[in-house]
Amino acid sequence: QCLIGLIGKPDYTFLLWATENAGLARLRKRDPNDHDIGKAVLYKTSKEKMESFLIRYNMKYKAIDTTELSVDDVIEIMMTTLGPIIK
């Protein structure tokens, strides 16, 4: 509630998430010593908490499972989603 009061609601939010295995692979590829590797077990609960927050505060959002998607795929989904909103 404090966060919403301070900055207001965003016009639209994208919740990007991936499976724990995909997240671990990406972290290891980026940096095998990344301190976030140990936090990968929290992926599922983190996604659930973030989505719960968005729902509770009635925010417009789209959750995108990026597990099997390229960066270009994710951008395409975002642009397609935002197209009607921007017009």
Question: CA-CA distance, 57 to 47, in Å (whole number)?
Answer: 16
87 confidence band (pLDDT: 50, 70, 90): low
**Tens-place pLDDT, residues 38-65:** 887 788 889 999 999 999 999 999 999 9
What percent of the chain is modeled with pLDDT above 90? 49
- Residue 48 corresponds to which tokens in the numbers above? 């659930």
> How much is the mean pLDDT over the chain?
89
Between 26 and 51, the more confident residue is 51
SS3 21: helix
String of DSSP letters for 26-79? HHHHH-TT-GGGGGGGGHHHHHHHHHHHHHHTT--EEEEE-TT--HHHHHHHHH
